[in-house]
Amino acid sequence: MNAAAALLSLACLALIQASGSGANAEFNPLHHSGPASPYFDAPAQFGIPPSTPVRCSVDQAAYIVRHGSRFPEPGSFTGWQSLFAKLQNATYTAKGPLAFLPSWVPPIDDGPHQPLFLSSTGSKEAFDLGVDLRKRYRLTKGGDNFTVWSVRVVDTATYFTLGYLSQGNYLSAADENRGHVITMPDSVNYTFADSLTPSAGCPAYSTGDTSSKATTFRGTYQGKIADRLNQYLDGLTLNATDIGVMQDLCGFQAEISGDTYFCDIFTKSEWLDYEYAHDLNYYYGSGPGNPVSATTGYPWVKAVTELLVTGPKQTPSDSHFAPPPLIMSFTHDNNLPPVVSALGLWNTSLFPSVYPLSTAGPPNPHRTFRSSYLVAFRGYIALERLSTGPHHVFAVVGADARAQINNAVVPVPGCASGPGSSCPLASFATYVNSRAAVAGDFVGTCGLRDVQNATGALDIFTTFPSDAAQTSMLLVPLPYAHTP
C-alpha cells in the first residue's frame, strides 16, 4: 500500500461534521475565525464523502461538543469596551472600509447578563444539532426518554435535547419524551479524569502548554495590518491590540447581531494569519503540541470505545446504567483538541515539514489541524459505530468543527480498510488500546500518585450517580401544568 492509500485507509472513527466551502467557493472569513467562528460544516478531507457508506447504518454514536455561539467572555468584553472608548474619545475621520467606525457600538445591550452566556444563534445551533441527529440516526423512537452529559454549558445541552425530542405532544406525559441532563462540576481539580474538563484535574497539563507561541506569531502580522488600516483614518491610530479585538469581532458580531463590517476590512491573507494564530494556540496549548494533551483526552476516548465494543443499549458488565445509543457530551473548546491528540489525528501528513506546526509561518496549506474546523462554536468530534450486518461492524470517526460530523471524515492512522475508509471495530479497539502508551497513565503523568482518590477513569456514561464525578441531574422539559 502506498503512502497516499495508507492515509486514505485510516479508519473512520472520527466524523467531523463539516461540509464547508469547496475549493472554488468564495472566501468566507467566518470559516477562518477559529473559536470565534459560528458553526459551519468543515470541508471534506482526504476525498472521503461524509455520507454513511452504502449498505451500512450507524447503530451507535458518541459526540463531544463545544457549546454553541455565545457572547464574549468578560475578559474579551473588556477589550471591546476599550476599543469602543478609544473610538468614542477621539476626534477623527474614517473613510473607505473603516467609515463605519465612528458609529459602531459593541453588540451588547445587557452588560450584567450577556457576557459569557449563550446567544440566540448558539441556542439555534444546539437545537438544530438535536434535530439533525434525530433525523440522521433515528436511534431512539418517539416517546423515549433521552440522557445527555454536560458541564456548566447546560443551556447548550438543554437546547440540543429539546431539538432532539421535538416531535409529538408529550407536555402532559411526565414520564415520556423527557431529557435527562447529567451535570458535573466544571474545570475543577478534584474530579481528575472523571470529568468532561479533565485537564483542570491534571497539574502537569499546564507545564506542556506552550500556546504563547501564538502570541509570538501574532506579533509578525498585527502591526502590519494596523499600518495598512491607518491610511483610512485621520486623527486616530490603530495598534496591534486593536487589530486582535477587531478580528475577533468579526465572528462574534456576526453571530450576535448579523453585522459583518469587521469581517470586510481584512484581506484573505490577513484572515489566514489570524486563523493560523488560533491553530498554534490550540495545537500547542491543548492539542498535539502539548505532550500531556493526549493524557487528558484519552479517558473519554477509552470510555466511548468500550461502549462501542459492547454495542448499543447494552449495560457493561461492571456497571448498572445503559447509556442511549447516541452519547452526547457537552463541554468547552479546549477539551476537544485533547481528544484529537488521544486518537492520533491531524498530526501526521503525506507532506514533509507540516508537523509540528511551524511557529514562524506562513501557514502551511497542507496542514489538517485547523482550529476553525474543530473548535468553532458548537464544534464537535464524533465516533460512530457502523453496522453492515451481523459480521461486519466498523467504527467511524467524525469531527465537527464542527465535525460530524460535519461531514468531514477523518481516517484513523493506518486503519481504513472498512467501508467509507472506516476501521473495523476490533482493529479500532486495538488501536485505541495502543494509544494508551502514548497518552500515559493519567494519575502518574499528571503527578497525582500521592493524591487521595485520584482517578484516571471516566465512568459517567455507565454510572449514575457517580461519586467521583459528582454528577447530578436536570429534567427537560418540565411537565406541563395547566393553571385555570
Q: Element (H or E) spanning 437, and its range?
A: helix 425-439
Q: Please indicate whether residue 333 is annotated as part of the active site.
A: yes
Phi, psi of 285 (to 5 degrees): -90, -55
Consecutive H or E run containing 411: strand 408-412
Taking the C-alpha atoms of residue 34 and residue 28, their distance in angstroms, rounded to an integer, is: 12
67 in active site: yes
Active-site annotation holder among 67, 209, 278, 332 = 67
Closest residue by Cα to residue 155 from 284, 22, 330: 330
List phi, psi (to 5°) of 95: -135, 175
Other beta carbons within 10 angstroms of residue 418's beta carbon come to 27
The span from the CA of 360 to the CA of 367, in Å, is 14
Catalytic residue among 248, 279, 333, 400: 333
Burial 261-275 (b: 16+ CB within 10 A, else e): bbbebbeeebbbbbb
Query: Vertex 414, ends 372 and 422: CA angle to 5°?
Result: 70
Angle between helices 74-88 and 240-257 in degrees, nearest 10: 110
How would you classify the pairing of strands 233-234 and 93-94? antiparallel
Whether 277 and 345 have beta carbons less than 8 Å apart is answered as no
Q: What are phi and psi of 187, to 5 degrees?
A: 55, 50
- Catalytic residue annotation: 67, 333
